[in-house]
Amino acid sequence: MTDINDIQIKADQYLENKEYQQAIDYFKKVRKQNLGISKIDYLIYRNAIEKYKYEKKKLIKVKVFLITNIYSIITLFLNKKKKFKLIESIWLHIPLEKKIIKKFITKCSDFKKYNNAIHALELVSENFKSDIWILKTLAYFYDLKYDYPNELIIREKIIKLNSDDNNEKKLIENLKFKISDAEEKKITVSSLLEDIKHDPNNVDLHIQLVNKYVNVRNFDSAIEHIEEYLKIAISENFRLNKKLFLIKEQNFNLQLAKAEDDKNISEIEILNKSINNLKIEKLTYFSSHDPNDKQLRFELAKQLLDQNKFEQAIIEFESLKNFEKRQTAIYLYLSDAYFRSNNKKKSIELLKKASNLNNSLRENTEIKARLKNFE
């Protein structure tokens, strides 16, 4: 097998001396001895294009006419392998003729010669920088080879040429996701742990690591890692706390689904209690970070009431009495909280106050019904 470095040196010499046909002949011989080295195809194609340009298209129109017609006749009598060799040979004579380019690329696709198509189109695109068909076809073959970074480069060129191509815009967004996902998969847990040792306060690294754990449903490791880091963190980290709540919810929900499938009643009760407690913990945390978010505090108060934590619920609802958007609902919930904590007098008092608010028909009906129940 010929050394690839020797091949490259030889290629540079041929190009420098403009010995294009000699280069083509030489590399064709080398290709027969070194099957599977895609680089050799590239060198053949490159020299064919340079030869074509150097000859300044002498008798090109005559060549195109004769060659395409001869090709159409001869291919009727050739097998699949010989058909490809023939069209490749024809293209090598007139590599920048669009009609022949399309025929050659079509055969590359038919015979699954994707590397050949890519080499040819890469070289051809240098001479047809604004040709949408060539660029889209090159992007298509990159996609077939899962070469997403190069595909993205080409599709971004297409958008520059045609900014109204919405389909290309969607493909670009999808490619960015694929590239990001591929990069993420390359990163291992051990490499992330090593990176964290050198940069312990890099929150992005911690989040990447716990995402790795979560992807394989190793929730315990994910939760443990965040909790251990938060104990030693220089300052409180909202992003990691938010991530911690999310992972705990996922973990509980999966456990609950399994318990329900198994009809494990006692486990279901324990998990529902844990989920409810987590909801209160989460809402308490978020509302403490944004005390002006009255809707968040309203949700916390409702959750406390649902879990029979009447004293805490009353404190929260009392502090929200001036929340106009939910004012009637707050008085109704407060009335319920006082009643359930054995303060009937206060419950009735709140219902009467609620009846004087700017209520909807439904709210007034509910207030009247509740007051009637106390008679």
Secondary structure (DSSP) of 117-144: HHHHHHHHHTT-TT-HHHHHHHHHHHHH
**Is the pLDDT reported for residue 141 higher than 90?**
yes
Instruction: Please list the helix, strand and coil fractions of the chain in percent, rounded to the nearest 5, in that order.
Output: 80, 0, 20
For residue 10, give every residue at least 6 positions away whose Cβ sits within 8 Å of its Cβ, in sequence order, or none.
23, 26
Three-state SS across 173-191? Answer: HHHHHHHHHHHHHHCCHHH
Predicted confidence at residue 270, as pLDDT, reads 93
Residues 354 and 331 sit within 8 Å (Cβ to Cβ):
yes
Distance between CA atoms of residues 60 and 99, nearest Å: 12
List, for residues 205-219, the tens digit of each pLDDT value: 999 899 988 887 888
Domains of the chain, start order = 1-128 (no CATH), 129-186 (no CATH), 193-289 (1.25.40)
Distance between CA atoms of residues 63 and 346, nearest Å: 101
**Is the pLDDT reported for residue 127 higher than 60?**
yes
For residue 38, give every residue at least 6 positions away whose Cβ sits within 8 Å of its Cβ, in sequence order, or none.
115, 119
The token duo for 362 is 């439904």
Calculate the alpha carbon distances from 176 to 138, 148, 156, 170, 202 in Å. 18, 8, 11, 10, 24
Using 50, 70 and 90 to split pLDDT, how confident is the model at 64?
A: low
List, for residues 283-326, the tens digit of each pLDDT value: 999 999 898 999 999 999 999 999 999 999 999 999 999 898 89
Burial class (CB in 10 A: 0-12, 13-18, 19+), 309: middle
Residue pointed to by tokens 């999966």: 254
Residues 115 and 38 sit within 8 Å (Cβ to Cβ):
yes
Predicted confidence at residue 274, as pLDDT, reads 93
List, for residues 220-275, the tens digit of each pLDDT value: 899 999 999 988 887 778 999 999 999 999 999 999 998 999 899 999 999 999 99
- pLDDT more than 70, % of the chain: 90
Tell me, rounded to whole angstroms, the distance of Cα 369 from its chain centroid.
53
In one letter, which amino acid is 334?
L
Using 50, 70 and 90 to split pLDDT, how confident is the model at 40?
A: confident
Q: What's the start-to-end Cα distance of the chain, in Å? A: 101
Residues 318 and 350 sit within 8 Å (Cβ to Cβ):
no
Predicted confidence at residue 37, as pLDDT, reads 67
Distance between CA atoms of residues 237 and 204, nearest Å: 12
> Considering Cα of 169, then 171, then 175, then 177, what sign does the dihedral take?
positive
Burial class (CB in 10 A: 0-12, 13-18, 19+), 351: buried
Q: 29-33, 87-91, 264-268 — which one is most confidently predicted on average?
A: 264-268
pTM, rounded to two decimals: 0.51
Q: Residue 28, SS3?
A: helix
pLDDT mean over 346-374 = 90
Distance between CA atoms of residues 360 and 365, nearest Å: 9
Distance between CA atoms of residues 95 and 55, nearest Å: 12
Predicted confidence at residue 48, as pLDDT, reads 87
